[in-house]
Chain A
Amino acid sequence: MSSRTSNVVFSNLGRDNPVFVQILGICSTLAVTNVLKNTLVMAIGLIFTTALSNFTVSLLRRFIPTRIRMMVSTLIIASWVIIVEIMLKAQVPEIARQLGPYVGLIITNCIIMGRAEAFAMQNTPGISLVDGLSSGVGYSWVLLLIAFFRELMGSGTVWGQVVLGSWWVKWSIMVMAPGAFFMLAIFIWIVKGRILVEKEASNGR
């Protein structure tokens, strides 16, 4: 792996993580984080879309007129999402039904558009694919973590298996809407707090 590639990968997973630092694209996916299994399926669909639409946009970047580039990238993204939806319906019909419109809403997920605009428009297809892949993964691990805690505390289960026995009082607020807001806020708090401490430490020196 060249140093540039590894740079792209690691900054997307950590330092420039799309969820924590850029607070992008939490729209469509946050809604499915109350069950871990659905989140994983959604995350795979999202990684696939981000990577391939980044690749396609980068491939076509010389032919896309600047004025309508947003429209063109939206169409590219939408085409990939259609493929994702067809695949999900064929492979995991039950989960696809539960996800419902949220699969389609991957189109308006700001991360994909953001990466296409900020990265794929200026870079070669290969590195754009890597960038899309890694920002998709960077986004997904955060969501999976949120889903893990929400499912664990809200229903006492992990991946549908009962982990916490009957002694556990279920925090039903966790599987309802406010839970996701609080979980995400806490995660952002922890990560940003650590970044601030590091900054202060390096300033003090």
Chain B
Amino acid sequence: MEGSSPGTFAIFFAAIFTSNILLTLYLGMCSFLAVSKQVKTAVGLGLAVVFVITTTSALNWLVYYYVLIPFKLVYLKYIVFIIVIAAFVQIVEMIIERVSEKLYNALGIFLPLITVNCAILGVSLFMIIRKYTLVSSVAYGLGSGIGWMVAIVAMAGIRQNMKRSRVPGGLEGAGITLIIAGIMSMAFMGFTGMIKI
């Protein structure tokens, strides 16, 4: 609990509920729409995102404050962040492949998808703009990851149960998913006011 920003726990909580990265900031929509058909895959992708988002937010924080600022390379932050994320994902993929085949089969296919997930880069950029400390950044990353996972797993559950429902032709697929996301987003708005960040 340091710095001018709100407490670490508040940031963590707010990232999950009041400013859910997916439902209020629209980050990570692509994979959200594509991979939310089954709960099982949604959980797999969700876990991968939580892991990557938390670690890369710490890595990017260190790189930003200990490399980019001292060397006055702040304008290169986009390139550097995206390289850090891509390299990290690649390394994790290789490690998982060696260590556990089971885990690789469960998570491996999602890892390449993650590099282009806007939520990951988004968290790194937001933490810089909001001037979070290292601890707060990690809390923010973890919270955002969990928030994203909650949203995609809930959506997958709803879509699984909707298989038997009759949806108007034009709304099938993306359309109805967006409407559900809108309703979920309204539900999450109910948390607004509990905590502000």
Contacts and interface: CB of A to CB of B under 8 A. Distances in A.
Interface of A: 23-28, 30-31, 70-71, 74-75, 78-79, 81-82, 85-86, 100-101, 104-105, 107-110, 113, 173, 176-182, 184-185, 188-196
B86 A82 contact: no
20 contacts: A26-B29, A27-B26, A31-B26, A78-B78, A105-B27, A105-B122, A108-B116, A108-B117, A108-B120, A108-B122, A113-B116, A173-B186, A177-B24, A177-B25, A185-B176, A185-B182, A188-B170, A188-B174, A192-B171, A196-B170
B156 interface: no
A23 B33 contact: yes
A72 to B, nearest CB: 11
Interface of B: 23-30, 33, 75-79, 82-83, 86, 112, 115-118, 120-122, 125-126, 128-129, 168-176, 178-179, 181-183, 185-186, 189
Q: Which secondary structure characterizes the binding site on chain A?
A: helix
B79 A86 contact: no
Contacts of B189: 176-178
A181 B182 contact: yes
A180 B116 contact: no
Nearest to A173: B186
A109 B116 CA distance: 8
Contacts of A195: 170
B169 A193 contact: yes
A107 B121 contact: yes
Given A105-B118, A185-B178, 7 more contacts: A23-B33, A82-B79, A178-B182, A178-B186, A179-B182, A182-B179, A194-B170
Q: Of B30, B33, B183, which is in contact with the most chain A CB atoms at under 10 Å from its CB? A: B30
Nearest to B179: A185
A192 B182 contact: no
B118 A108 contact: yes
A184 B128 CA distance: 30
B169 A196 contact: yes
A178 B185 contact: yes
Contacts of A100: 125, 129
A185 B171 contact: yes
Given A25-B30, A181-B182, A31 B25 contact: yes
Nearest to A29: B26
Contact of A28 (B26, B78, B186): B26
Contact of B168 (A23, A104, A193): A193
B125 A105 contact: yes
Contacts of B179: 181-182, 185
Nearest to A111: B30
Given A177-B185, A182-B182, A82 B129 contact: no
A104 B125 contact: yes
Contacts of A173: 186
A192 B170 contact: yes
Contacts of A188: 170-171, 174-175, 178
A178 B181 CA distance: 8
A126 to B, nearest CB: 27
Contacts of B128: 101
